[in-house]
Chains A and B, each alone.
Chain A
Amino acid sequence: MKVHIDSGRCQGHGRCYDLAPELFGADDEGYGLALGDGIVPPGQEQGARLAAANCPESAVVILEET
């Protein structure tokens, strides 16, 4: 699983880095960022899903890889 933030949608609500700080951070203006390369380590999928489900702008994108 991989996550990224659609910067065209993100408004800096910060729900992603509130709910899954191991996967997301903030830039200097508070907009969300996927940490590192966005690869979700095994066991942290639930955090990614919570972040996506709670983003008011639907800016958290999850790519399920087979």
Chain B
Amino acid sequence: MSIDDRFSEELREERNARESETGTLSEVITGPVADWASDFSHADPQWAADPFPIQDDLRQRCPIAHTERFGGVWLPTRYDDVAAIAHDTERFSSRAIIISNFRPSLDLAPVGGSPPISSDPPFHHDARKLLLSAFTKTTISRYEESTRAFCHSLIDGFAGQDVVDAAEDYAKYIPMRVIADMLGLPPQDTALFAQFVEDVIGGIDLPPEERGERLTPLFDYLYAQVRDHVDNPRDDLTSHLINVELYGSKLSAEHVVGTIVLLLIAGIDTTWSAIGASLWHLAGHPADRQRLVASPELLPTALEEFLRAYAPVTMARLVKEDMRFGDVDMKAEDWILLSFPAANRDPAHFDRADQVVIDREVNRHAAFGLGIHRCLGSHLARMELRVALEVWLSRVPEFSLADPSAVTWSVGQIRGPRALPLRIP
């Protein structure tokens, strides 16, 4: 037995056996949406392609929609309701934050499967504190130069092509490369990461057993990486998590690996989506593109507007106990689809909420969430988005959609372009 046996295969198998016996399955309901107010599905292709008209309609007539799918989900669409739920950790739990037909065991609270995003107070605060200093704006600025060089190398790879896929050949690789660097995972493994992201975030309509099985390769990979870090410690976040102490002891294996899953998955498709959606907007709006090329100092303001209008992340909560919320009766264990994108387009909070105004000066958007779960990686995401757009606009100032009908969008709680063919000169 090694000195640090927390990460042994035997213990992992025992835990897996225990976990699979708990949790609640719901009936899998798929198929076309009958009515968005009472049968919505965020796995529906119409929602993936363009959720905003649906959300705008629901905001006027509900404003909290419901579905029986996934065992029961509520969808608030007003900013005030989204903010109230995000701030109310007494009545709404973060035990699971990706909606599927499986609700993990109540015993998982307050830690959850991927702390601290899945954690509730008071544990949340202490688990989050272990990570904050690694994600401050100052710490993140150390990665800017290498991120910029990497963006340039991706654009160097466009040489000789008239059409490039900005989602697949550019946006995707930038966050993967940076988070691999921060976690100390081999850069050549980024080819695996896109599949891991799809396995965690996608397939929400699949039978739960099948969905669970799809996660095995991710955990196999991360346990192997963690064991390698135990044997060969280095200056990165993985070694930090292996060695750090909480309440006088080192973290459990589930905590270490769960947090790495969080940092890896949450660090990739979110920023991939934000970079892609911004380039998609600029490809379709030449006046905005030309203005940013001519006035790069406007970019920090413009990217806040892209984050508002195309906020990639929708979170989830679980209702703790039966209660009245607004005009609806919520039941314990109902899901909440916490749509920051819908909040960000509420006309009660934003002038011209449905328009993209790239010089919008007052922009109190909620793209990175609100309350204690504010996106830990927001400073990293902003750096990556800014550098990715700066480099793209300086190297490729002229571009347009090569084929608007060929653009595809991800399905589920993280929304961004997954195919984005752009014509470049």
Residues of A within 8 A of B (CB): 11-14, 17-18, 26, 28-30, 50, 53-58
Find the A residue at minimum CB distance from B367: A56
Q: Are B370 and A56 in contact (CB under 8 A)?
A: yes
Interface string of B372-407 (1 = CB under 8 A from A): 101000110010000000000000000000000000
In the bound complex, how far is the Cα of B378 from the Cα of A31, in angstroms? 13
In the bound complex, how far is the Cα of B368 from the Cα of A18, in angstroms? 15
Measured CB to CB, the closest approach of chain A to B120, in angstroms, equals 16
Q: Are A29 and B132 in contact (CB under 8 A)?
A: yes
Interface string of B273-295 (1 = CB under 8 A from A): 00000000000000000000000
Q: Are B129 and A14 in contact (CB under 8 A)?
A: no
Residues from chain B with Cβ under 8 Å of A57 in the complex: 370-371
Main secondary structure of the interface of A (DSSP, over half): loop
Q: Are B133 and A14 in contact (CB under 8 A)?
A: no
Q: Are A29 and B364 in contact (CB under 8 A)?
A: no
In the bound complex, how far is the Cα of B363 from the Cα of A17, in angstroms? 15
In the bound complex, how far is the Cα of B131 from the Cα of A30, in angstroms? 11
* Stretch with Cβ within 8 A of A (4 or more), from B109-117, B135-143, B183-191, B223-231: B135-143
Measured CB to CB, the closest approach of chain A to B323, in angstroms, equals 24
Residues of B within 8 A of A (CB): 129, 132-133, 135-138, 300, 304, 361-366, 368, 370-372, 374, 378-379, 382
Q: How many A-B residue pairs have CB under 8 A?
A: 52
Residues from chain A with Cβ under 8 Å of B382 in the complex: 18
Q: Are A28 and B136 in contact (CB under 8 A)?
A: yes
In the bound complex, how far is the Cα of B366 from the Cα of A56, in angstroms? 7
If A26-B136, A29-B129 touch, does A54 touch B374 (CB 8 Å cutoff)? no
Q: Are A14 and B362 in contact (CB under 8 A)?
A: no
Find the A residue at minimum CB distance from B301: A19
Q: Are A55 and B137 in contact (CB under 8 A)?
A: no
Q: Out of B133, B137, B364, B374, which one reaches A11, CB within 8 Å?
A: B374
Q: Out of B132, B304, B361, which one reaches A12, CB within 8 Å?
A: B132
Q: Are B137 and A14 in contact (CB under 8 A)?
A: yes
Q: Out of B133, B372, B378, which one reaches A13, CB within 8 Å?
A: B378
Q: Are B132 and A30 in contact (CB under 8 A)?
A: yes
Measured CB to CB, the closest approach of chain B to A23, in angstroms, equals 15
Measured CB to CB, the closest approach of chain B to A7, in angstroms, equals 13
Find the A residue at minimum CB distance from B128: A29
Further pairs besides A11-B372, A56-B366, A56-B374: 18, Cβ < 8 Å = A11-B374, A12-B136, A12-B374, A14-B137, A17-B137, A18-B137, A18-B300, A26-B136, A26-B138, A28-B133, A29-B132, A29-B136, A30-B136, A30-B137, A30-B379, A54-B363, A56-B368, A57-B371
